Amino acid sequence: MLRRHATFIVISLLTLSAAVAVLLLRGEAAFRHALEATWGLIVTVAPSIIGGLLLSAALRQLVPPGALARWMGAESGLRGLLVATAAGMAMPGGPVAAFPVVLVLAQAGADRGALIAFVLAWSLNGFQRILVWELPILGTDFALLRLLCGLPLPVLAGLLARWLPIRWTPEDAPAFKPAPDKGQ
Amino acid sequence: MTVGVIGMWVLALGALFLCLRRSPSVARRAVGEAGTSLTRVAPVMLMALPMAAFVAELIPDGWAERWLGPDSGAAGVALATLAGSVLPGGPFVAFPLVLGFLKSGAGPAQMVALISGWAVLGLHRTLSWELPILGPRFILLRLSASLVLPFLAGMAAEALLPLFPGAALR
C-alpha cells in the first residue's frame, strides 16, 4: 500500500520536474508537443490495457499457479526450463503478481534454474506486455527483433543458475509462510 | 498495432468465456479484479506517460545518435544496457521513452539492449518488489545468472538487424 503510493509520488515528482524543465528550457511549443504525444500514446494503449487487465484477471481464476510446478523440479532438465519459460511468458500482470507466484512455484517443487527462467521469461518476453505496450508503441519489426533476441535468454539464465553454486530455497524468502496448502 | 489489440481482446474474451462456463460468479470475480487493477494502475500511468514525452523533448539534438546511434556498436550496446538497468518505472515509462530515443536517432540494436537491461536488471523493480518478496539471496542468484544477457541480446540484435529494416523508426 505504502509502496504503491511511494511509486505514484516519485513518478509524479519526476513528471512535474520534467514538465517544468521542458517549459523553461524548450519553450511552450515543445511543452504542447509533449502533451499531444502523450494523448496519442493514451489513445494507442488504452484499449489494449483494458483488454490485458481483463485477460490477466480471467487467467488468474482459471490456472492455479502451483499446477505447473511438478514439471519444473531439479531433475526436469531442459524440458523443465522450457516449461518455466513458457509459463513465464504466459504469466500476466506486473511484479506485484509475478514474484509471489515464484514463491508458490518454489514451494511446489520447482528448482532454482526453473525459477530464474520463469522470472526472466516474464520480465523479458511476457506476452501481455508485448501486446499491450511494445507492439503498439514500437511497431512489429522492432518488437519481433527484440523478442527474437530475448527468446533464448531465460533458458540460458536457467542453465547458468543451476550451475552456479548459489543455493536458494523458499525458506530464504522474506515473504515465506509455511503454508498448510503447500504442494497443491 | 490493431493486430495486438484485437489479439488481446480475443484472448481476454475467450478466457472470460471459460470463466463463465465454470460459473457466473467466477466470471464476475474476474471482471471485478480487472476493474480493481485498472483503478490501481491508471493513476500511475496517467502521471508516467507525460514524463516519457517530456524527457523526449529534453534529449538534446544529436545526443541519442552520438551515444546510442546505429554506429555506436558494442560500446553503445553496453551504455544502453546500463541506462536500461537504472531506468525506473513500468512499461508506461520505458516503451514511450525508447520511442523517443529511436525517433531522435538511437540504433535499434542499442534499444533492444536498453529494453532487455531494463527488463532483466531493472534496479527499481528488483529493490521495490523482488527484495521484499524473495530476498537478497534470490536476487544474487538471478543477477549472477543474467548479468551479461542483455548485452548479448543487443549484440544479437546488431547481427539480426538487416532482417528487420522497419525496426529503425527513421
Going from N- to C-terminal start, the domains of chain B cover 1-43, 59-167
- Cβ–Cβ contact A92 with B under 8 A: no
Query: pLDDT tens digit string along A143-161?
Result: 999 999 999 999 999 999 9
Interface list for A 143-182 with B (CB within 8 A): 144-146, 148-150, 153, 156-158, 160-161, 164, 166-168, 172-175
Going from N- to C-terminal start, the domains of chain A cover 9-62, 65-184
DSSP state at residue B163: G
Interface list for A 16-75 with B (CB within 8 A): 18-19, 21-22, 25-26, 30-31, 33-35, 37-38, 41-42, 44-45, 47-62
Are B166 and A141 contacting, i.e. CB atoms less than 8 angstroms apart? Answer: yes
pLDDT of residue A179: 55
| B62 three-state secondary structure | coil
Are A47 and B5 contacting, i.e. CB atoms less than 8 angstroms apart? Answer: yes
pLDDT of residue A47: 85
Q: Which of A12-16, A61-65, A131-135, B72-76 has the highest mean pLDDT?
A: B72-76
pLDDT of residue B45: 79
**Quick one: cell of B130?**
523482488
Tell me the C-alpha distance between B68 and B55, whole Å: 16
Asked if B30 lies within 8 A of A34 by C-beta distance, the reply is no
**% chain A with pLDDT above 70:** 93
CA dihedral (B87, B98, B115, A170) positive or negative: positive
Task: Report in angstroms the alpha-carbon separations of B94 from A82, A105, B55.
Answer: 27, 28, 11
- Which residue in the set A54, A134, A149 is minimally distant from B95, CB to CB? A134
Q: Is the pLDDT of residue B53 over 70?
A: yes
The count of C-alpha atoms lying within 13 angstroms of the C-alpha of A12, restricted to the half-sphere facing its C-beta, is 9
pLDDT of residue A62: 83
Q: Hey, of A24, A123, A130, A167, which one would you mutate to test binding to chain B, going by the most B CBs within 10 A of its CB?
A: A123
Tell me the C-alpha distance between A77 and A83, whole Å: 10
Tell me the C-alpha distance between A114 and A91, whole Å: 14
- Cβ–Cβ contact A139 with B under 8 A: yes
pLDDT of residue B156: 96
CA-nearest residue to B161 within chain A is: A145
The mean pLDDT value for B132-157 works out to 93
Are A48 and A132 contacting, i.e. CB atoms less than 8 angstroms apart? Answer: yes
Query: pLDDT tens digit string along A79-116?
Result: 999 999 999 998 877 777 788 888 888 888 889 999 99
Least Cα separation, residue B158 to chain A (angstroms): 10
Are A137 and A44 contacting, i.e. CB atoms less than 8 angstroms apart? Answer: yes
ipTM given for this complex: 0.83
Q: Predicted confidence band at B59 (pLDDT cuts at 50, 70, 90)?
A: confident
The mean pLDDT value for A63-75 works out to 73
Query: What are φ and ψ of residue A72, in 5° steps?
Result: -120, 25
Write out the H or E segment, with its range, that includes residue A117.
helix A112-125
Q: Is the pLDDT of residue A182 over 50?
A: no
